[in-house]
Every structure is written in C-alpha cells, then in structure tokens.
Amino acid sequence: WELDPSVSCDYCFVKGVLKQFRQGGASEAEDLKRLLFCLRKGPLVGDQTGDWLDAYKERFTGDVVDFLEYQLRVEHDKMEAGFLLDVANTLLLFERLNECALVGKCQVLVKAGKNSLALEVYDSFCKLYSKSYGEAFMLSFPKLLKHKL
C-alpha cells in the first residue's frame, strides 16, 4: 500500500531517511532537521508492548541509534554546535546510556562555556550507569572531554 502524496507521515519519512542511510546515501540538512523533529517525540509507540511489536521496535531503535551515532562520529565537523546538541539529546532519548551521545553533548557544552552544565550531565549519566550496571563509569570527566567521538 502507499499513502496519497498529499498525506504526510512522520514514520514513513523517518523510515525513508534511515533506508537511504543504510544504502549509503547522504541526507540533506533539511531532512536531518525534520528527522530530529520527528524523533524528538520519543521511541516508536512508546510503552506499547507485544511479542511482534517488541522485535520491530528494537530494529527501528537500532536503526535510529546507528544513524544518530554516525552523525555524531562522522559528520560532526559539518554541523553547528546547536545541531550537534540536538543529535546527542535525541540519541539519549532512544538510548539513555549512550556513551557517544554523552561525549558529544559534554564536548559541545564545554566548547560553549557551559562547564557546570556539562559536569551535571556527566554526573547524571554516571549515576544512571552505576545504578544500571553496578559499576562505575570508566571515563573520568577530563578524559571524556578529550575522547574522540
């Protein structure tokens, strides 16, 4: 089935951008902005569960995480700080303990002179990490700031 071209569907748009990415295509800046707008609404179908749905949500989330991590690791030199921060925040919506997002977010905040805010973000991440894994996060704040994305 296909939607009428006059109908806009965020899900179809996101899937299209992710498919283009998997096939090695580049995304336009406007597509990336719209993608982040769509993804900032949170994970696919929220708290809904079901055997058939869980596997699908996991694949979708995995595709989103891969795409956003790629943007942070590879495309970060081409992005302005505010957009990098949006990418990192969106990635953290889908994977709260994503180290790539933490590194990107803290580095952007420090470059913007928001050292205290960066440290608060780092401390919150470390507490959640410790609670989730029962061990301390391996990177100190100074090392994290020097860490390559």
**pLDDT tens-digit profile, the chain (149 residues):** 566 777 777 878 888 888 887 787 766 778 888 889 989 987 776 666 777 777 888 888 899 999 999 999 988 888 899 999 999 999 999 999 999 999 999 999 999 999 999 999 999 999 999 999 999 999 999 999 999 88
Q: Which two tokens stand for residue 149?
A: 């994305």
Residue 20 CA, chain-centre distance (Å), reads: 17
How confident is the model at residue 136, as a pLDDT?
A: 97
How confident is the model at residue 50, as a pLDDT?
A: 72
Q: What are phi and psi of 50, to 5 degrees?
A: 165, 150
46: Cβ contacts below 8 Å, ≥ 6 apart: none
Q: Which two tokens stand for residue 135?
A: 């061990």
Token pair 């805010």: residue: 117
Helix-helix angle 99-111:51-73, to 10 degrees: 40
